[in-house]
Structure formats: C-alpha cells, structure tokens
C-alpha cells in the first residue's frame, strides 16, 4: 500500500517509519509531511491508499486536513497522544486510532485492516465517481451504489432519507431495515439525488420529500418521516426548505 505520514514531531515520524519498515513491509511510504499544507500537496501528487495522520499540528490540524481533501479514497489511521480525539476520529471514518507511543502490535493490526479495506474497494472497481454519477443514473433506473461488500442496486423512490457518517453515507430504505452504508460522502449522494425529489435539510441529512409526513415548527424545526424517523432542519436551510415544500 502507498502511504503518507503526516506528523509535525520528528521523533514520532522516525519511530513510525522504523516500525513500518520492520513490521509492515507491504507499506511503501511515498511521502513524510510535517504539516497539513504539504500533506495536501502530497496527497494530490501520490494518491495514497493509506494516511497516517496526527491530530494536533500547527496551522492545520488533522481534521481540517481531511475536510480540505476532495473525495478522499484512502484509509485513515490517526496517530496522536490525546485520546479525547477518538470520537472525532470515528466521525471522520478513521480506519483506526493509535495512541502514542505507538505499539507495534496495534500498528500491525491497523495496517492489516487497511489492506483488507483497500482490497475490497479495488476489487469492487467502484472508486470512479463518474461511474457512480453517470453510468448508472438514467431517469427512473436503479442506482449502482458502492458499498464495502459490493454494488447495491437501489431505486431512488425507495430511499426515505440519507445520513452522513463521516466520509460515508447511510441510506434508510422503506423496504429494507439493514440501511446500507455507501462509500460516498453525503455531498456526492446529494449531487445525484437533488433532482429526484430529495432535499438537504441539514448538514448531515438528505431526505426524500415524498416520504415526509409532517413538519414541526421550531428554531430550525424538525421533520417526521412516514417511517417515524425524526429529522432536524438546520436554521440556515429552513427558508429554502419551506420554499421547496410550498412547490410540492
């Protein structure tokens, strides 16, 4: 796997390089970066499959770096001395979270998980966003949605709502309680569905307006879907949402 290390502390970079060389020979480190700006350039240049990412860095921290990446396709392993960042790491869909000083056994397990994830992604041949957006999205036809298990074929009219889970999106279907997890960001899913009766009511929620049961007034308000789900409406999207439903 092609990897990039991002850490502002030299001794941490050196230790990780040493451990990878000794215990993870299948990992090829393409670049070692000391800050987020140079890391963005390295990501664009090297197209890594794995990113070892520190959290606390001057100028741009690890989470801000991920926010700046366009459609990240790499696996993420956070490396930090501060365990209070664990929840944020999970929300950013980190593959794993390693506390400093790094433990070789935990590192090996994390790299093995990353290798498995990358084999699944590559084996499914679903990394191409254009394939997702164009080849499978004719009006009235099913969507070919990339998941960790393979392609899932779904009709837009069967989607009740979508919720962001870091770099992935969970689809809630009226005919399936499993709620498949799609390997696309909510923004990418929105690009496909916004002209098919869907509306982004919140940073984390995209709803199918045809499944909306009622709207409850409030600061932003909330929507009750026909399946009983309660979806929040953000304040800054409320006006556009009200204008949209008035046209229904």
**Per-residue confidence of the chain (248 residues) as pLDDT tens digits?**
999 999 999 999 999 999 999 999 999 999 999 999 999 999 989 999 999 999 888 888 887 888 788 667 788 898 887 666 555 555 455 567 788 889 999 999 889 888 887 776 554 433 444 344 444 444 346 777 777 777 778 889 999 999 999 889 999 999 877 899 988 889 888 988 888 899 999 999 999 999 999 999 988 999 999 999 999 999 999 999 999 988 77
Both tokens of 50, joined, read 């794995």
Mean pLDDT of all residues belonging to the chain: 83
Annotation: CATH topology of 2-124 = Rossmann fold (3.40.50)
> Cα separation of 33 and 9, whole Å?
10
| The predicted structure's pLDDT at residue 6 | 96
| The predicted structure's pLDDT at residue 134 | 42
Long-range pairs of 222-231 with CB within 8 A, sequence gap ≥ 24? 225/160, 225/161, 226/160, 226/174, 227/160, 227/172, 227/174, 229/160, 229/161, 229/172, 231/161, 231/201, 231/202, 231/205, 231/207
- pTM exceeds 0.95 for this model: no
Domain locations along the chain: 2-124, 132-245
CATH number for domain 132-245, candidates 2.40.50.1020, 2.160.10.10, 2.40.50.140, 3.40.430.10: 2.40.50.1020
| The predicted structure's pLDDT at residue 46 | 92
> Cα separation of 208 and 197, whole Å?
6
Both tokens of 59, joined, read 């100028």
> Cα separation of 175 and 177, whole Å?
7
| The predicted structure's pLDDT at residue 95 | 62
CA angle 111, 182, 5 (to 5 degrees): 30
| The predicted structure's pLDDT at residue 104 | 93
| The predicted structure's pLDDT at residue 208 | 97
Nearest to 38 by CA among 56, 19, 57, 16: 57
| The predicted structure's pLDDT at residue 39 | 94
| The predicted structure's pLDDT at residue 204 | 95
Nearest to 43 by CA among 78, 84, 9, 5: 5
């Amino acid at each position: 796997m092609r990897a990039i290390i991002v850490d502002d502390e030299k001794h941490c970079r050196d230790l990780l390089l040493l451990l990878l060389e000794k215990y993870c020979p299948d990992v090829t480190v393409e670049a070692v970066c000391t800050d987020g700006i140079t890391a963005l350039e390295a990501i664009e240049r090297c197209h890594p499959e794995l990113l070892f990412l520190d959290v606390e860095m001057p100028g741009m921290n690890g989470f801000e770096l991920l926010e700046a990446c366009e459609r990240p396709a790499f696996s993420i392993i956070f490396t930090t001395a501060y365990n209070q960042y664990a929840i944020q790491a999970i929300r950013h869909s980190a593959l794993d979270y390693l506390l400093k000083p790094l433990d070789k056994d935990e590192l090996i397990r994390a790299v093995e998980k990353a290798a498995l994830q990358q084999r699944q992604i590559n084996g499914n041949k679903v990394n191409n966003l254009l394939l997702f957006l164009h080849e499978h999205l004719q009006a009235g036809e099913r969507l070919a949605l990339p998941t960790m298990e393979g392609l899932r074929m779904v009709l837009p009219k069967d989607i009740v709502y979508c919720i962001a889970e870091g770099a992935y999106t969970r689809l809630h279907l009226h005919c399936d309680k499993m709620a498949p997890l799609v390997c696309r960001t909510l923004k990418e899913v929105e690009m496909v569905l916004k002209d098919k009766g869907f509306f982004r009511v919140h940073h984390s929620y995209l709803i199918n307006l045809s499944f909306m049961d009622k709207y409850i007034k409030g600061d932003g308000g909330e929507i009750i879907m026909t399946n009983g789900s309660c979806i929040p409406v953000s304040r800054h999207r409320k006006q556009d949402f009200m204008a949209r439903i008035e046209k229904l």
